[in-house]
Amino acid sequence: MYENPKLLLDPSASIEAGQFTWRSPSNLAIIKYWGKYGTQLPRNPSLSLTLAASCTDTMLEYELTENTSGQIDLDFFFHQEENDAFRTKTLAFLESLLPIFPFLKQLKLTVHTGNSFPHSAGIASSASGMSALALCLCSLEDALFGTLPEPNDFDRKASYIARLGSGSACRSIFGHAAVWGETAAVSGSSNEYATPIGDLIHDQFKDFHDDILIVSSHEKSVSSSAGHALMDGNPYAEPRYAQARTRLNTLLDAMKAGDLETFGKIAEDEALTLHALMMCSNPSYMLMQPGSISIIEKVRQYRAETGNPVYFSLDAGPNIHLLYPGDIVHEVRAFIDEQLLEHCENGYVQQDWVGEGPEEV
Ligand code: DP6
């Protein structure tokens, strides 16, 4: 939808070297994207909260080169150090984007990137990383060709590009919360890019916390791409996609109304459904660890005893996301310190909360 062979620079024009830096956050899906087809298209609509503290900062430097090889000239630094593995992955991604950004092969590009959270924490960084890179690429296009002056067009294209890098990344372009995937419940929603839904949700969810309890920082045993592929042979796949659609409708109504109980119930059901789907895939994956289950049990018990609206979620890994509204932050932090830290690797918790979305820095 964005292919444009006209986006080529006049090699005789004088184009000054420059740079862009974007800080982009991670996000936590409440309705999970799990299963895809075609070119990064989701089998069901998903809905996420945009986080604030777990971010990637990416600087894209560019200068015009004489490069006539037809290939992209890229240097890549991760936390100030050259990183060959990331360079190779990013180069393949940029090459795949040449029909959309043909000018990339006329430039010398250098990417400097780094995360706000410890690399070793085991927190997935593809959503923040790919959204930050997509934003830099759209800034570059706009600077060179003046083609994206409207913020809505800019964000939509950045979301589309981020999706091609990693599906969940398309939701990180927007503050507060976003939906990705066609659903009658959100007008303008699309499988190709995410749609912001901050205006549709109760203010309570804009002051929500998501403390990430790091049960284990070790590499996950299934990459998310391999995980999505497992859905193709899963006997529960079709009912699951239907369930996600129904849950998304119920969730949106609850988020409009500020209904925490329904929100929390769906968040937990979705996390457990994701893990159940992995467990009954072939091959089967069990990504929860004993600490994950201990935390889940303690959260349920704490909620029953105190009545406090504290809920858990998980991504495709063992770490627990603790979700709760801002007005009980002190009580919940005390609960974490007293009861949950013992299940966290080196007692590590990444405190996070719902944020305003990416910013150019
Ligand atoms: C469990 O977006 O990482 O976090 O498109 O293959 O890069 P790719 O997958 P990815 O999958 C995320 C899966 C999830 C659920 C979610 O974020 O919706």
**pLDDT tens digits, residue range 90-141?**
999 999 999 999 999 999 999 999 999 876 666 767 999 999 999 999 999 9
pLDDT band at 218 (very low <50, low <70, confident <90, very high): confident
Share of the chain above pLDDT 90, in %: 91
pLDDT at 202 over 70: yes
Q: What is the pLDDT of residue 223?
A: 83
* Atom 7 (ligand 1) nearest CA: 166
Tell me the three state secondary structure of residue 309. Answer: coil
Q: What is the pLDDT of residue 239?
A: 98
* Atom 8 (ligand 1) nearest CA: 166
Q: Which atom of ligand 1 is nearest to the CA of 225?
A: 6
Mean per-residue pLDDT, 227-237: 93
CA distance linking residue 341 with residue 357, whole number of Å:
29
* Atom 12 (ligand 1) nearest CA: 168
Q: Which among 30, 130, 168 is the best mutation to test ligand 1's pocket, defined by most ligand atoms within 8 Å of the CB?
A: 168
Task: Report the DSSP beta bridge partners of residue 42.
Answer: 36
Ramachandran region, residue 176 (left: φ > 0; alpha: ψ -120 to 50; beta: rest): left
Mean per-residue pLDDT, 251-278: 98
> Strand 311-313 vs strand 208-213: parallel, antiparallel, or unpaired?
unpaired
Closest CA to 210 of 25, 9, 28, 21: 28
The Å distance, Cα 238 to ligand 1 centre, comes to: 18
Does residue 166 line the site of ligand 1, with CB under 6 A?
Answer: yes
CA distance linking residue 271 with residue 222, whole number of Å:
16
Q: What is the pLDDT of residue 121?
A: 66
CA distance linking residue 167 with residue 29, whole number of Å:
11
Does residue 224 line the site of ligand 1, with CB under 6 A?
Answer: yes
**pLDDT tens digits, residue range 143-198?**
999 999 999 999 999 999 999 999 999 999 999 999 999 999 999 999 999 999 99
Does residue 228 line the site of ligand 1, with CB under 6 A?
Answer: yes
What's the pTM? 0.97
Residues 19/72/144/56 CA torsion (nearest 10 deg):
-40
Q: What is the pLDDT of residue 63?
A: 95
Does residue 284 line the site of ligand 1, with CB under 6 A?
Answer: no
3-state helix, strand, coil split of the chain in percent (to 5) is 45, 25, 35
Residues 26/29/34/39 CA torsion (nearest 10 deg):
-50
The Å distance, Cα 70 to ligand 1 centre, comes to: 32
Neighbours of 228 (CB within 10 A): 20
Decide if 21 contacts 3 (C-beta within 8 A). Answer: no
Does residue 29 line the site of ligand 1, with CB under 6 A?
Answer: yes
Q: Which atom of ligand 1 is nearest to the CA of 40?
A: 5
pLDDT band at 226 (very low <50, low <70, confident <90, very high): confident
Q: Which atom of ligand 1 is nearest to the CA of 168?
A: 2
Q: Say which residue the tokens 């949950």 belong to.
A: 340
Mean per-residue pLDDT, 286-315: 97
Q: Say which residue the tokens 């070297």 belong to.
A: 17
Does residue 183 line the site of ligand 1, with CB under 6 A?
Answer: no
Averaged confidence pLDDT in the chain? 95
**pLDDT tens digits, residue range 303-321?**
999 999 999 999 999 999 9
The Å distance, Cα 29 to ligand 1 centre, comes to: 9
CA distance linking residue 274 with residue 279, whole number of Å:
9
The Å distance, Cα 37 to ligand 1 centre, comes to: 13
The Å distance, Cα 225 to ligand 1 centre, comes to: 8
pLDDT band at 68 (very low <50, low <70, confident <90, very high): confident
Mean per-residue pLDDT, 56-78: 92
Q: What is the pLDDT of residue 118?
A: 75
- C-alpha radius of gyration, the chain, whole number: 21
Domains of the chain: 18-201 (3.30.230.10), 205-359 (3.30.70.890)
Does residue 46 line the site of ligand 1, with CB under 6 A?
Answer: yes
> Strand 320-325 vs strand 18-31: parallel, antiparallel, or unpaired?
unpaired
Does residue 315 line the site of ligand 1, with CB under 6 A?
Answer: yes
Closest CA to 273 of 20, 29, 32, 9: 32
Does residue 164 line the site of ligand 1, with CB under 6 A?
Answer: no
Token pair of 37, please? 């087809």
